[in-house]
Amino acid sequence: ASTEAERLRAAADLAGELTGRAGPLRERAAALKAELGKDYAQSPELFELAKEYCLVHAAAACVLTHVHSADAVEAPLPSASLLLLQLERIRRQLFPHEQVTSQAVVDEVMEVLRGLHQDNRLFSYWQFPLAKRLTDESAARR
């Protein structure tokens, strides 16, 4: 099993890979603008570049949220496994058939989710009190 530090290193590598796409994206956008001229703004290629930029931005947002919430949240968050899984999901938009995380990482995140659900807590970095859960036994699956 990987340690928290190993998972953070893997997440850092993955984040570096994803955010490292920003420079080449700028270069591709500049080349596209030079090639298409006035048709640049309505080109399908620009839309694809924008989608990829959104993925880069999402990866950066995940990392910044993880880093800046470390002192503000209660266990089990922030979690290196959660960050790694978030980054893998973003990366899969670019490389849908390449898995980065192991089943152990997925299992750890699912354990966190189940625990938060059982404790009637939000799956969120910022917690606030929730209304008491009402259990309707008639609606439960049998």
pLDDT at res. 92? 96
Q: How many domains does the chain have?
A: 1
Model pLDDT, residue 69: 82
Whether 134 is covered by a domain: the verdict is no
Tens digit of each residue's pLDDT (9 = 90 or more) over 101-123: 989 899 999 998 898 888 888 88
Contacting residues for 90 by C-beta, under 8 A, at least 6 apart: 18, 55, 58, 59, 62
In a domain, 135, yes or no: no
Provide DSSP, 77-105: -S-HHHHHHHHHHHHTTT-TT---S-HHH
| pLDDT at residue 56, rounded to an integer | 97
Measured CA to CA, the distance from residue 95 to residue 92 in angstroms comes to: 5
Looking at the domain assignment, is residue 32 inside a domain? Answer: yes
Q: Does some domain include residue 42? A: yes
Low-confidence ranges of the chain (pLDDT < 70): 1, 76, 136-142
Does some domain include residue 136?
A: no
Q: Answer yes or no: is 77 within a domain.
A: yes
Please state the pTM of the whole predicted model.
0.80
The range of the structural domain enclosing residue 36 comes to 4-126
Q: Domain for residue 139, yes or no?
A: no
In angstroms, rounded to a whole number, what is the distance separating the alpha carbons of residues 113 and 128?
A: 16
- pLDDT value for 73: 73
As a dihedral over the C-alpha atoms of residue 118, residue 124, residue 125, residue 128, rounded to 10 degrees, the angle is -70
Residue 9 domain-assigned (yes or no): yes
